[in-house]
Amino acid sequence: MAEAQARVPGPIRVWDLPVRLFHWLIVGLFAFSWWSGENHDMDWHRWSGYAVLALLVFRLYWGFAGTSTARFAAFVRGPGAALTYARSLAQRPYVAKVGHNPIGGWSVMLMLAALVVQVAAGLFAVDVDGIESGPLSDYVSFETGRAAAKLHHLVFNIALAVVAVHIAAIMVYRFWLKTDLITPMITGKRQSASLPPDAAAAAVGLGLSWRALVGVAAAAAVAYAISVGFRF
């Protein structure tokens, strides 16, 4: 099957459906959280945060249970691999990877970490008036809640910076390395002509297995439990 694909030039699936859905839902919810926060629309801001929380739980699970390009083990690499990869960027034509490259992998982990801290801080945050608060804020003092809110502001700015670097990197690949990263993240597929000859063997499935169902159920359950502050 893989050998047959290798001989046929054409598109190869490099991202499964859950990875792509996660990515674009996070894009939308990140923007919506920003907008609702700026407009003091805190009911919507909380709902958006719970959705981000569920997505993060799913993605962390999918990093162990997903298809090969979704797994942390496949793309979290050491500094040596990142350095070797950085040197390979000078070669022309640039040959794309199936999955995250060793530097992109770190960028993914950095964005995930920023979002995890951001959501965690929001859960405990209290506004200066004591009116609006996260669902776990009653487990902490007013002062701790204020500290969480300040962290929530700080990490948002860090997250914005990381997103800016992410978008800048996509532009560099697009215009300098002539590699389109956006289309594969939408369709899941990349033309095998722009990939190494043995890429077809690394192609991934759609990812819609029972494992995905388990992940969705677990993510929904965890997000629900936290959103009600573990009061059932």
Does position 128 bind other proteins by CB under 8 A? yes
Does position 135 bind other proteins by CB under 8 A? yes
Does position 129 bind other proteins by CB under 8 A? yes
* Cα–Cα distance, 232 to 224 (Å, whole number): 10
Q: Report whether 146 contacts 154 (CB < 8 A).
A: no
Query: Judged by CB under 8 A, which stretch of 58-66, 75-83, 130-138, 200-208 contacts other proteins?
Result: 130-138
Q: Report whether 142 contacts 98 (CB < 8 A).
A: no
Query: Judged by CB under 8 A, which stretch of 15-23, 25-33, 131-139, 158-166 contacts other proteins?
Result: 131-139
What is the per-residue binding string for other proteins in 40-79, x denoting contact by CB under 8 A?
Answer: x---------------------------------------
Smallest distance from the beta carbon of 154 to other proteins, in angstroms? 9
H helices present in 125-177, as ranges: 142-175
Q: Report whether 68 contacts 204 (CB < 8 A).
A: yes
Determine which residue in the list 24, 35, 64, 142 makes contact with other proteins, applying CB under 8 A.
Answer: 142
Angle between helical axes of 210-227 and 42-65 (0-180°, round to 10): 140
Does position 35 bind other proteins by CB under 8 A? no
Residues β-bridged to residue 14 = none
Q: Report whether 102 contacts 85 (CB < 8 A).
A: yes
* Cα–Cα distance, 138 to 206 (Å, whole number): 42
Smallest distance from the beta carbon of 41 to other proteins, in angstroms? 12
Residues that bind other proteins (CB under 8 A): 40, 126, 128-133, 135, 137-138, 142, 145, 150, 153, 229, 231
